[in-house]
Chains A and B, each alone.
Chain A
Amino acid sequence: MKRHLISAADLSRDDALLVLDTAEEMARVADRPIKKLPTLRGRTVVNLFFEDSTRTRISFEAAAKRLSADVINFSAKGSSVSKGESLKDTALTLEAMGADAVVIRHGSSGAPHRLATSGWINGSVVNAGDGTHEHPTQALLDAFTMRRHLSGVGRDLEGRRITIVGDILHSRVARSNVLLLNTLGAHVTLVAPPTLLPIGVEQWPCEVSYDLDAVLARTDALMMLRVQSERMNAAFFPTEREYTRRYGLDGLRMAVLPEHAIVMHPGPMNRGMEITAEVADSPRCTVVEQVANGVSTRMAVLYLLLGGSEPAIATTSATAVPVATAPANGATTAARTEESK
């Protein structure tokens, strides 16, 4: 049976809460002298990384190892083979080696979906970030962090106001967060210059603002996204200085946030660009906590996908086949967040 985690939209509210609750228990293991569980003994998890991402890879590696899985790191970056051949042939190789799960990071949107539906492998596929599409485990660890600060263990994020600021257009973190946070009942506002918002964003289950200052006072969690330096030369905004002035978070802006509000960042931070050092090093900034929570969350995902004879979360992306006459997009988004059995 093939079960995968490709998109945050694959998770129903109950599934998402199950992952978060399970992650809470996993987090307690980190406090013990022996930070290891025998649960996935004999299982093989392959980290298949076509892009460099040391932090995501070691997070998955730590998660798998704490569950006693065998971990194989496969860095396919820089391969001389053409990308297409590389993905398929690599997949066939991993299948021959008996991978129970493949954690894949790929520069092309949809590559994990393709891996899960192509018939090249039988194991579970976990999307560790694909192109500018999704990064569902990042959204889960972000929700886990927000829940600890804003609503409490066992609860969803009903009514919490989350603001995501930055390069939404190219951000897989933003896409997954919008979907998951909406599933968990939060109100999401995206803030970016119009050039860094995707076409059709008005159909997403969130609000959009071009003005950061207008939303700060009604924000429970403020997530700053990294601005890639290569955007600089593509006329998305005039200068780095102007971007920082309009969309960067400094101490003055942070002071406008409600007292309980937290500042998040998926990392790595561009200090001085989207976030000042003063904010990044303040106690309200959860960056380091997010890293720790990442391991617990990924342990929960791996356990729930691999811990039994079949996964405990009913992910659907691999089987959902949209048709040409699909309903208007808003409806599609809503439908995709529901669990289908």
Chain B
Amino acid sequence: MSKILIRGAKVLGGEPQDVLIDGETIAAIGTGLSGGEGGPGADGDAPATVIDAEGRMVLLPGLVDLHTHLREPGREDSETVLTGTRAAAVGGYTAVHAMANTFPVADTAGVVEQVWRLGKESGYCDVQPVGAVTVGLEGKQLAELGAMADSAAQVRVFSDDGKCVDDAVIMRRALEYVKAFDGVVAQHAQEPRLTEGAQMNEGTVSGELGLTGWPAVAEESIIARDILLAAHVGSRVHICHLSTAGSVELVRWAKSKGWDVTAEVTPHHLLLTDELVRTYNPVYKVNPPLRTEADVLALREALADGTIDCVATDHAPHPHEDKDCEWAAAAMGMVGLETALSVVQHTMVDTGLLDWAGVADRMSARPAVIGRLAGHGRPLAAGEPANLVLLDPAYRGVVNPAGFASRSRNTPYEGRELPGRVFATFLRGQATVMDGKLT
């Protein structure tokens, strides 16, 4: 059995401790571990690997992303399951949910099993496919949700992400139907008529730039409806990439009622605003769009107080040519897996809004619960699976997309200094990343 000893790691940001990994599980956490601990049969044989965390690095459970676009099958020019999971590992993730808007759409057991199998083969992180709510994401007919749930992929999260399930009856049926297997519908909240031709957040900046606006109400009206629908049918609903202060208020209200509503926020909506669109650089084009400073501050506060349950990357790779053009012609989306933890440290930890235990909750524990993902987001304790990320919060670096593990480079942070670096990632005791590099 291979053993790994991490010396002097701040477990969940607390006092430095030693952590011993034995095989696929955490064998012991304590001070002054030598490697001999860890239960019967561990008779003092020295660990194969010793990592010195220097009393400064932080150990968290491996991150879980509820919202990743791996693009395979269909758009392998922008990302594959292999390159996407490599990027995830570099970013500290041990599990990602692969969104369903592939070609073909992941709306059958066959497609979700294909993605699931490709994830198994990659070995860099667990890939949990998301199933489409409706056939072809067209919002008209429910996909075979039960078949996907029963498949080898064990799908529990269903989403038409990229498109809103805007038909109230279809949404109601989906919410009801997934109760049979404890599933959840993750809604991309975007009222389609209010966002026809939308290019950016509707506000002062869109008025000046002459770009068609994407109003906050187009998100909020759908969230309000879906909260009420979920409450009515007694199901749970998850809100994807919540982006406005008004949406925060709605979710806060729903939670105060005790309804089972969860929400995610992306790293970019915690940091960037629509002022950046003044450059007309399509790298800032994303859906939902970058909002205002007031929205950013409300989102940070909501993530801190738990109104927003988790951070999800909405990692959306696009080939260079889809961004190397004028704004209106450009694709929407940003890559995010490799920068998410740094952005969260910058916006939430370094600002004092969240401690590292809070980060572990919002980026690992809660998304794993929402996705009903076994073996991830677990507490850091002896006997738990060794899905871990060791990060160096003191590190300062400038984002350089040329070094990305992702196949795409469409990051809005190029040239920006961000704090923190993933030093090592462990998937069931195996290091997928060591010293910041893929193993």
Contacts and interface: CB of A to CB of B under 8 A. Distances in A.
A, B bound: yes
Interface of A: 82-85, 87-88, 106-111, 113-114, 117-118, 130-134, 172, 175, 198-201, 203-204, 320-326, 329, 332-333
28 contacts: A83-B325, A85-B325, A87-B326, A87-B329, A108-B327, A108-B328, A110-B326, A110-B328, A111-B328, A113-B279, A118-B324, A131-B328, A132-B210, A175-B208, A175-B210, A198-B206, A198-B207, A199-B203, A199-B204, A199-B213, A200-B203, A200-B207, A200-B208, A325-B273, A325-B275, A326-B278, A329-B205, A329-B208
A333 B275 CA distance: 12
Contacts of A110: 209, 211, 280, 326-328
B322 interface: yes
A107 B205 CA distance: 19
Given A108-B327, A198-B206, A85 B321 contact: yes
Contacts of B324: 84, 88, 118
A133 B325 contact: no
Contacts of B273: 324-325
A324 B276 contact: yes
B438 interface: no
Given A109-B327, A322-B278, A133 B210 contact: yes
A199 B325 contact: no
Nearest to A321: B279
A200 B211 CA distance: 13
Given A88-B324, A323-B275, A324-B271, A199 B210 contact: no
B215 interface: yes
Nearest to A203: B204
B250 interface: no
Contacts of B210: 109, 130-134, 172, 175
Nearest to B272: A324
B78 to A, nearest CB: 15
A199 B215 contact: yes
Given A322-B279, A324-B275, A324-B276, A84 B321 contact: yes
Contacts of A109: 199, 209-211, 280, 327-328
Interface in B176-214: 199, 202-213
Contacts of B278: 320, 322, 326
B330 interface: yes
A102 B400 CA distance: 33
B293 interface: yes
Given A324-B272, A324-B273, A84 B326 contact: yes
A207 to B, nearest CB: 15
B198 to A, nearest CB: 12
B279 A117 contact: yes
Given A82-B329, A133-B210, 10 more contacts: A87-B329, A113-B280, A131-B210, A198-B207, A199-B206, A322-B275, A322-B279, A323-B275, A324-B276, A333-B208
Contacts, number: 111
A84 to B, nearest CB: 3
Contacts of A326: 275, 278
Nearest to B282: A114
Contact of B202 (A199, A204, A321, A323): A199
Contacts of A172: 210
Nearest to B213: A199
A201 B207 contact: yes
A73 B142 CA distance: 52
Contacts of B205: 200, 329
A29 B276 CA distance: 44
B329 A84 contact: yes
Contacts of A200: 203-208
A83 B272 contact: no
A201 B206 CA distance: 10
A133 B207 CA distance: 9
A173 to B, nearest CB: 11
A48 B204 CA distance: 30
A322 B276 contact: yes
A325 B279 contact: no
A87 B204 contact: no
A332 B293 CA distance: 14
A83 B271 contact: no
A7 B202 CA distance: 20
B14 to A, nearest CB: 33
A105 to B, nearest CB: 13
Contacts of A84: 321-322, 324-326, 329-330
Contacts of B279: 113, 117, 321-322
Nearest to B211: A109
Interface string B240-283: 00000000000000000000000000000001110110111100
Contacts of B271: 324
B410 to A, nearest CB: 14
A110 to B, nearest CB: 3
A313 to B, nearest CB: 21
A291 B328 CA distance: 30
A133 B329 contact: no
- A-B CB proximity, top 6 nearest: A84-B325, A133-B210, A200-B204, A198-B207, A110-B280, A84-B329
Contacts of B212: 132
Given A199-B206, A323-B275, A324-B273, A87 B211 contact: no
A114 B330 CA distance: 12
Nearest to A179: B208
Contacts of A113: 279-280
A106 B326 contact: yes
Nearest to A116: B280
B335 to A, nearest CB: 19
A261 B45 CA distance: 97
